[in-house]
Structure formats: structure tokens, C-alpha cells
Chain A
Amino acid sequence: QKEVEQNSGPLSVPEGAIASLNCTYSDRGSQSFFWYRQYSGKSPELIMSIYSNGDKEDGRFTAQLNKASQYVSLLIRDSQPSDSATYLCAVKGWSDYKLSFGAGTTVTVRA
């Protein structure tokens, strides 16, 4: 059973600042990593996927993966009030098809 841990929130950042979200996972064989955004009362929305060590940038979002440290992070640059949501880290191993989710970190961007 893969375990996925996220830094406990809530995380409050001022508008325009960088929000940094962290996630660690227990299964060293995990190969695929995803970040989902979930607005209150809505379903999760895929915002980033990362499969290789290093950084992956998409607009204001940057995902960082370090498989040796079993660590994946998400940076949100120039945070906007519309970024206020819960961010879910999800990890998929190579030996099974299951996607395991963390409990999420709630981000609030202060105007």
C-alpha cells in the first residue's frame, strides 16, 4: 500500500507570492506523479504530471521530482486568488495500476 504524505495546511500566501507544496511517498518503485487542484465542492482537476527527475514547468506551475528522496513538489508562482484551492498529490507505482492520493494541502491566496 503506497502512502502519500503532504504538508499539512492550510497554507496562506499573499497575492503575487510563491506557494510551495510538498509531497513524500513511501513506494520507492513509484514512477508517475500528478498534482490535482480541487476547488471547494468540486471534483479534482489534473494540473501537472511528472515522470522524470527534475523540474517541469507549465505556465505559473512548476513540478519538481526527486525519486532518490521520494519527494515531489509543486510551486505556484505569482499566486492569484483564483489559485485558492486544495492541491492533491497523487502517485502511481509501476507494479500496479492504482493511483494513491495524499490528503491534500489547502492554499489560500490573500488579496
Chain B
Amino acid sequence: EAGVAQSPRYKIIEKRQSVAFWCNPISGHATLYWYQQILGQGPKLLIQFQNNGVVDDSQLPKDRFSAERLKGVDSTLKIQPAKLEDSAVYLCASSPNGYEQYFGPGTRLTVT
């Protein structure tokens, strides 16, 4: 069974630029999550989708971050404009049942 796919794996941008990340969950997993992990910290949930509906986006900085999950499968997370403090690893995870979560390889974002 293929795991969670993410792209790109690495991205370097300047502050105030925009960036987008893509995630393809494990086939059949209805729940999809985006996390931000800053070095030395645990992952922090940004947004959770159930199929193509948003379950929780309470920690998503909505003035600059947006996310969508079209057709209940793939998802994109966008940052516009980026700030220095957005430098982190962005992790996508999916779950078959809302309990065990399986993570993709992540995208390491550096904002200069």
C-alpha cells in the first residue's frame, strides 16, 4: 500500500513570496491533516479535513494560510505572503478512522 505522498520535499523562498504544498493521502483514508513542525517541537495541527469538509482549522493563521481538499482526495496548503517564522516542516497525514495517523515525508520550508 502506497504511503502519504507530499511535494515538494524542500522549498526555499524569500519573505513575502507565496508557496504551495501538495499532499496525496493513503487511498481510502477520509481524514487528512496538515501539521506544522518547528525544529525541536512536536507537530502542531493546522487544519483537518473529513472528506472535503473542514473539521478543525482553529490553529490555521487564516490571514496568510489557506488549504483545500478538492474531491475529498488530494489537498493543497498555501502560504501567502510567507514570513520568516513560517520556516518549518509541513507534514501531511491521513487516517482511516480518525485515530491512527500516518504521515507523509514532509516539506521543509525555509523562508529567507
Residue tally, chain B, CB below 8 Å to A: 22
What B residues does A34 contact at CB under 8 A? 100-101
Docked pose: A49 CA to B55 CA in angstroms: 23
Chain B, 37-75, CB within 8 A of any chain A CB: 40-45, 48, 55-56
User: Given that A44-B91, A97-B55 are known contacts, is A92 also in contact with B99, CB under 8 Å in the complex?
Assistant: yes
User: Is the C-beta of A78 less than 8 angstroms from some C-beta in chain B?
Assistant: no
Chain A, 71-111, CB within 8 A of any chain B CB: 88, 90, 92, 96-104
Inter-chain contact A99/B55, CB cutoff 8 Å: no
Given contacts A43-B91, A45-B103, 12 further A-B contacts (CB under 8 A): A43-B105, A44-B103, A46-B100, A46-B101, A49-B100, A92-B99, A97-B48, A97-B55, A98-B45, A99-B101, A101-B44, A104-B41
| Interface of B toward A, CB cutoff 8 Å | 31, 33, 40-45, 48, 55-56, 89, 91, 98-106
